[in-house]
Structure 1
Amino acid sequence: MSDKAGPRHQQPSWPPPITPEQSQGGPNLIGYAGQPMAAARAVQPAQAAQPVKHRRRVFWWFFAALQLAFVVWVVAGGVSASNETTDAGRAGGTIGVGLIILLWALVDVIVGITYAVYRFASRDK
């Protein structure tokens, strides 16, 4: 009974047999759905002629400029608060710098949510 017939006892078909195209030039790598890897990576001549589009980083530059503006504002507020001679003046400066930092955090949250909504709406479908 060593000769068992039927579909349950056949040899597995993985890896798939190597085609003559795969055996010519290079390693015999199998990609998705049995296609050779070299064919999956092949660049068409029409694609190679097109210029590469660089992503514009408008949001990043806007966000960096916004952060720089808030840093300058906080430093300026801290310097003006340190020049006060009275306790009330220093307390007012501290409250002012705290409000600037609070505004900074709120603006960052609003800008971040706006950017997330923009990215979600413009993603590939």
Structure 2
Amino acid sequence: MFLIWIIGGAVSAGGTPEGCRGLTGDDLELCEDARTVGTTIGVGFVVAFWVATDFILALTYLIYRLTSRQSRG
């Protein structure tokens, strides 16, 4: 799910943004660069959310395994 989210976000950033239409030269380059930076930040947030989710799931599994372990006697 996260991989699809990342790919979808990265693909949607292709092409010239609607807000940049009609701009030329440095203005167009600045507008496109701003969109690239925004896409990078968005993908970074998705990756961070992915890592946080994996960490929480791993911690939950570890706690479950430790509590369900039978005592050896």
TM superposition score normalised by structure 1:
0.42
Q: Determine the C-alpha separation between the residues in 2 that align with 1:84 and 1:123.
A: 57
Q: Bigger relative contact order, structure 1 or 2, given CA contacts below 8 A and separation 6+? A: 2
1:114 alignment partner AA: T
Unaligned 5+ segments in structure 1 are: 1-68
Question: Highest CA radius of gyration, 1 or 2?
Answer: 1
Determine whether 1:93 maps to 2:39.
Answer: yes
Aligned positions, number: 57
Determine whether 1:81 maps to 2:19.
Answer: no
Matches within 5 A, 1:27-38: none
More helix by share: 2
| Corresponding position of 1:107 | 53
Q: Judging changes above 3 Å, is the alpha-carbon distance between structure 1 residues 93 and 84 closer, same or farther for their aligned structure 2 residues? A: farther
Contact between 1:81 and 1:94, CA under 8 Å: does it hold in 2?
Answer: no
Percent same amino acid among aligned pairs?
40
RMSD in angstroms over aligned alpha carbons?
1.3
TM superposition score normalised by structure 2:
0.69
SS at match of 1:82: coil
Moved over 6 A (4+): none
Contact between 1:74 and 1:100, CA under 8 Å: does it hold in 2?
Answer: yes
